[in-house]
Amino acid sequence: MFGMPGGIEWIVILIVALLIFGKRLPEVMKSMGKGIVEFKKGVKGVEDDVEEAMDDAVEKNPEKLASTNGNGEKIETENKEESKEMKG
């Protein structure tokens, strides 16, 4: 029923955007770009925090790492290399 706009629809959308925003359009796009960059930095920061927490857990108890398989069952491994292989 509803899908992605085709070529003509995109042209109409761009013309409407130009009429609404006019000279401010470059500023709006710049602000959107900065927002996207900040969002990506935030996501990267969270990923780094998770990775750091996992590394800390491995350092505290390196002989037994607990992982889960696809069914949510716990699998214990004896070394870090096996754990990385299980993560995929």
- Average pLDDT value over all residues in the chain: 77
The model's pLDDT over 7-49, given as tens digits with 9 standing for 90+, comes to 899 899 988 888 888 888 788 889 999 999 999 999 999 999 9
- State how far the Cα of 38 lies from the Cα of 84, in Å rounded to an integer: 29
> What residues have CB less than 8 Å from 79, skipping those under 6 apart?
62, 65
**Under a CB-based contact definition with an 8 Å cutoff, are residues 73 and 62 in contact?**
no
- pLDDT of 85 reads 54
Is the alpha carbon torsion for 9, 15, 16, 17 positive or negative? Answer: positive
Token pair for 24 = 């401010």
